[in-house]
Amino acid sequence: MEGFPMPWGNYVLKQFIETNAPDAVSMLPQTMGWLYLSVAILAFITYKLYKRWKMYKINVYRREAISWLNTLSVDSDEHKRIKAKELPALLKKVATHAYPQSQVQSLHLQTWEKWLDEHVENCRFSSTYTGMLGQLAYQSTSLSTEQISELIKQIALWVKQHKGELV
């Protein structure tokens, strides 16, 4: 079989000569401006990634505190009561990490609670939870499990939302 028989196809296109396709157009930039722009974009992306990594490293103390609070909130009531005595120390440790030590270490009881409220907008240590941190830190606890759970939520809120001075 040599091909199609002669009276086949469109007779008008019989004398048609096909032209060659042009060479492919390169997708790479041809001028130096595109090179400068791509270097600038790469530098910007590198800078943003570096800042994000640095913030990740700076916020290790927050993640550790939240992790400890999360394990405490799923504990049994008796274990929660025992571990709750460590809540004021945890909060002080977080605050000392985020703010100058001289500013945090001198605060006690009501001044400490007011200072916590001043540094996070929705905290209510000095109004709703007045004296609870002091009770846990300096006295045998008479707080109920519900009060301890609410205090854990309030401390978690403070840990997550405080700005800190990145000492």
pLDDT (tens place) for every residue of the chain, 167 residues total: 566 666 666 777 777 777 888 888 888 888 899 899 999 999 999 999 999 999 999 999 999 999 988 887 766 777 777 777 888 888 889 888 888 888 888 888 788 888 888 888 888 877 777 778 777 777 766 777 788 888 888 889 889 988 877 64
Say if CB 65 and CB 90 are below 8 A apart.
yes
List all residues 6 or more positions away from 140 whose beta carbon is below 8 Å from its beta carbon: none
Give the pLDDT of residue 7. 63
Give the pLDDT of residue 112. 84
Give the pLDDT of residue 13. 72
Give the pLDDT of residue 60. 92
Predicted TM-score (pTM) of the model is: 0.69
List all residues 6 or more positions away from 134 whose beta carbon is below 8 Å from its beta carbon: 88, 108, 109
Structure tokens at 106: 């001198």
Give the pLDDT of residue 28. 82
Grouping H, G, I as helix, E, B as strand and the rest as coil, residue 114 is: helix
Q: How distant, in Å, are the alpha carbons of 25, 148, 150, 154 from that of 136?
A: 74, 10, 14, 14
| Distance of alpha carbon 101 from alpha carbon 92, whole angstroms | 10
Write the Ramachandran bin of 76: left for phi over 0, alpha for psi from -120 to 50, otherwise beta: beta
Q: How distant, in Å, are the alpha carbons of 100, 117, 163 from that of 62?
A: 16, 18, 11
Structure tokens at 76: 């049994």
Question: On the CB side of 66, how many CA atoms lie within 13 Å of its CA?
Answer: 12
